[in-house]
């Protein structure tokens, strides 16, 4: 059995030998964030992977994130340390289901949240993130838009545009399980605290929050906030990073059990195995990649 210090040292040694880089999503466990070269949100990390010289990318996140990195860096080796680290929301719609849905709304454009499979992206017109979803929707001339797969993000966008947003009935179970009573409880317990929530939360939760931020926006705001206490309404893993950015602020989870079991499948041992054994390699069929990349690049251009 290796100690934690030995595992970390071995990871660093292998990373150098293999010309590899470790990317970790904001929701990863603290020790994985600490061993990573970069921590961020899914698209930010994928774009970073494409811009760096390293030939091997160890993506500590979930499957759709590693897929996106592979699509943006097809010549590189992309490793997902735990192949079963998926995204339940991404799994709530398949390419076949999207094709059938589009037939019931002929001529309507599809805006696809980045939290989706490559196959679903390939059937969409544009991708979006939680921070740019409104801009992406507003970029279309169409008066009605299909939005997949997150109904809560769709609802958040619909409140800010005159366009009709027709949502797929998907959701992130972590954010969807944050309820109004959790907000009211924290308001009573921490009356001076600010409450920040993710746009994947329910509408009534968003209504009672002070700010609505993507994970990337939370990270930026954490470094400049003047608040003494901030209650964070998203997956609890991000608090590790926020606390490192600004140790003078007390960051408090809005819901202590806002926990994504898939994000937490990766640990130091699985990162080490990924480097030692080259697993698990992510591949995307070239025909799927070409179409999905078009939807991603349209978003980036906006």
pLDDT confidence of residue 302: 86
- Residues 272-300 pLDDT 10s: 999 999 999 999 999 999 999 999 999 98
Contact 150, 171 (CB under 8 A): yes
pLDDT confidence of residue 162: 97
CATH code of domain 4-85+263-282: 3.40.50.10800
Q: In the CATH hierarchy, which top-level class contains the domain 178-253?
A: alpha beta
CA 180 vs. chain centroid, Å, equals 23
- CATH for 90-171, options being 3.20.20.70, 1.10.1040.10, 3.40.50.10800, 3.40.50.2020: 3.40.50.10800
Q: How many residues in the chain?
A: 302
Look at residue 47 and tell me whether its pLDDT is greater than 90. Answer: no
Average pLDDT, the chain: 96
Give yes or no on whether 90-171 and 178-253 have one common fold: yes
pLDDT confidence of residue 1: 84
Close Cβ partners of 34 (under 8 Å, ≥ 6 residues apart)? none
Transcribe 69-133 into DSSP letters: HHHH-TTSEEE-S-TT---TTGGG--HHHHHHHHHHSTT-EEEEESSS-HHHHHT-SEEE-TTTH
By C-alpha distance, which of 1, 2, 4 is closest to 268? Answer: 4
Domain boundaries, the chain: 4-85+263-282, 90-171, 178-253
């Amino acid at each position: 059995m290796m100690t934690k210090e030995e595992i970390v040292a071995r990871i660093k040694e292998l990373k150098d030998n293999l010309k590899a880089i470790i990317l970790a999503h904001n929701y990863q466990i603290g020790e994985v964030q600490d061993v990573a070269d970069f921590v961020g949100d899914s698209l930010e990390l994928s774009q970073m992977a494409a811009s760096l010289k390293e030939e091997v990318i160890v993506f500590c996140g979930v499957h759709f994130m590693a897929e996106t990195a592979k699509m943006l860096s097809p010549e590189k080796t992309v490793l997902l340390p735990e192949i079963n680290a998926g995204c339940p929301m991404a799994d709530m719609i398949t390419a076949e289901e999207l094709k059938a849905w589009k037939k019931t709304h002929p001529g309507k454009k599809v805006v696809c949240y980045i939290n989706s499979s490559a196959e679903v992206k390939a059937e969409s017109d544009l991708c979006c993130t939680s921070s740019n979803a409104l801009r992406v929707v507003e970029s279309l001339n169409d008066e009605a838009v299909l939005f997949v797969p997150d109904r809560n993000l769709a609802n958040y966008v619909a409140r800010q545009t005159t366009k009709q947003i027709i949502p797929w009935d998907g959701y992130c179970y972590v954010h969807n399980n944050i309820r109004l009573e959790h907000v009211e409880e924290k308001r009573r317990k921490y009356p001076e605290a600010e409450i920040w929530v993710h746009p994947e939360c329910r509408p009534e939760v968003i209504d009672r929050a002070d700010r609505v931020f993507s994970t990337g926006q939370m990270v930026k705001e954490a470094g400049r906030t003047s608040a003494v206490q901030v209650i964070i309404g998203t997956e609890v893993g991000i608090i590790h990073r926020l606390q490192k950015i600004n140790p003078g602020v007390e960051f408090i989870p809005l819901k202590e059990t806002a926990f994504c079991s898939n994000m937490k499948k990766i640990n130091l041992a699985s990162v080490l195995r990924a480097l030692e054994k080259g697993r698990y390699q992510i591949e995307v069929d070239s025909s799927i990649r070409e179409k999905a990349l078009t939807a991603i690049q349209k978003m980036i251009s906006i």
